[in-house]
Amino acid sequence: MLYYKTKEEIELIRISSLLVGKTLAQVAKHIKPGVKTIELDKIAEQFILDHDAKPAFKGYGGFPNSLCISVNSEVVHGIPGNYVLKDGDIVSVDCGVVKNQFYGDSAYTFAVGEITTEAKKLLEVTKQSLYKGIENAIAGKRIGDIGAAVQNHAEAAGFSVVRELVGHGVGKSLHESPEVPNYGTRGKGILLQSGIVIAIEPMINMGKKEVIRGKDGWTIKTTDGKLSAHFEHTVLVDKGKADILSSFEEIEKVIN
């Protein structure tokens, strides 16, 4: 079942999605060596509550926190805790909010201190692959066009694409139809039409594509222990060009 959003609903999703970007920018101010991931979670939760919204992830399927924080070889769904960030780490921070009954969802992978050249390349290529996917989120294309664009860009750079986890529709639920894989074949899959809102979220590994679930039942990690990066935008499918409802602008003001 695909949900086509009205103009009013799209603007409400935009408000939620922009709040996610602002929340991630607050978190970005505190990402440095010596900080525990649980501290980042508390900062985000308070910021979301202060803006008349609720953390979307807290309690979702039993998830205990407001952010998913995944460090180094952790792909996604990492639980914030007593891990202390150190120089050279990369850390994916995934955030969702619900405000006025509508969800926003976005993620950004940060460098902690000075990271290796290879890690920098992984972050750059993963972020580029997100925008390659977004370029194909237009009415008249198919879901496979998005996945193929992400996959081709990542694999051309020598990286691999996680198969088990995918993007998704966003609206009054955090996860709606359709599923949005980060791999695929051009011209295949459901037809994209104006009014569909999706989260596109490449999860790209430095080594092999295979992943495992950690003992906590949540954290997804690379099987080979190599780094993984994750970037995500909430996007409106539209004619001619996708409309990105979330934003990295506030985040990048902080980190640059």
Domain CATH code at residue 23:
3.90.230.10
25-43 pLDDT, tens digit per residue, is 999 999 999 999 999 999 9
Is the pLDDT confidence value at 123 over 90? yes
On whether residue 19 sits in a domain, the answer given is yes
Segment 138-145 shows an average pLDDT of 98
- What confidence tier does 192 reach under pLDDT thresholds 50, 70, 90? very high
3-state class (DSSP) for residue 10: helix
3-state class (DSSP) for residue 153: helix
Mean pLDDT of all residues in the chain? 98
Instruction: Enumerate long-range contacts of 114-123, CB under 8 Å, 24 or more apart.
Output: 114/87, 114/88, 115/88, 115/89, 115/90, 116/88, 118/206, 118/227, 119/88, 119/90, 119/206, 119/227, 121/157, 122/90, 122/159, 122/204, 122/206, 122/227, 122/229, 123/90, 123/229
Q: What is the pLDDT of residue 191?
A: 97
Segment 79-108 shows an average pLDDT of 98
Segment 56-82 shows an average pLDDT of 98
Q: What is the pLDDT of residue 54?
A: 98
On whether residue 123 sits in a domain, the answer given is yes
Domains in the chain, number: 1
Is the pLDDT confidence value at 230 over 90? yes
On whether residue 2 sits in a domain, the answer given is no
Is the pLDDT confidence value at 182 over 90? yes
Segment 202-217 shows an average pLDDT of 98
Q: What is the pLDDT of residue 13?
A: 98
Residue 210 lies in domain: 7-255
On whether residue 48 sits in a domain, the answer given is yes
Strand order in the sheet with 74-76: 74-76, 220-222, 211-213
On whether residue 148 sits in a domain, the answer given is yes
Q: What is the pLDDT of residue 17?
A: 98
d(CA 24, CA 84): 18
On whether residue 1 sits in a domain, the answer given is no
Segment 177-190 shows an average pLDDT of 98
Q: What percent of the chain stands above pLDDT 70?
A: 100
> Strand 203-205 relative to strand 211-213: parallel, antiparallel, unpaired?
unpaired
Q: What is the pLDDT of residue 100?
A: 97
Q: What is the pLDDT of residue 242?
A: 98
- DSSP string computed for 206-243: SS-S-EEE-TTSS-EEETT---EEE-BEEEE-BSSS-E
Q: What is the pLDDT of residue 1?
A: 87
On whether residue 76 sits in a domain, the answer given is yes
What element of type H or E holds 90? Answer: strand 90-99
